[in-house]
Amino acid sequence: MRDLQGFERKYLRGLAHSLKPIVYVGKNGVTDTVVDAANDALEAHELIKVKFVDLKDYKRELTDDLAARANCQCAGLIGNVAILYRQQSDPEKRTIDLTEAHR
């Protein structure tokens, strides 16, 4: 997966504005259960929010770890919420078109 460019991250953050967090990271950090939940959510939605309930001082490191383990990219980290994106592997199921970010 290629790295997102700045304008693409900005576009994704705009799309994520109205979303509610789907995945929560608690005191145990990024566990296999959290990674599985993120994978399932990304498969269904492509763009998700992850809320850090605990370990807020380590949210950047935890976001990077989760993104690496879930094979996705961080579009932004706002407060205690990370925005993660992974393009749907099936072209017919894709709901986000990053070419729209160019406009």
Residue 101 belongs to a domain: no
Distance between CA 20 and CA 47 in Å, rounded?
11
pTM of the model as a whole:
0.93
Residue 42 belongs to a domain: yes
Owning domain of residue 25: 6-86
CATH value at residue 71? 3.30.110.60
Question: What is the domain count for the chain?
Answer: 1
Residue 93 belongs to a domain: no
> Could you tell me which of 27, 38, 31, 53 has the C-alpha nearest to residue 83?
38
Residue 59 belongs to a domain: yes
At 1 the pLDDT is: 65
Residue 1 belongs to a domain: no
Please give the average per-residue pLDDT across 92-100, as a whole number.
86
Residue 97 belongs to a domain: no
At 93 the pLDDT is: 86
Residue 39 belongs to a domain: yes
- The DSSP element (H or E) to which 60 belongs, if any, is helix 59-69
Residue 45 belongs to a domain: yes
pLDDT in tens, 41-69: 999 999 999 999 988 899 999 999 999 99
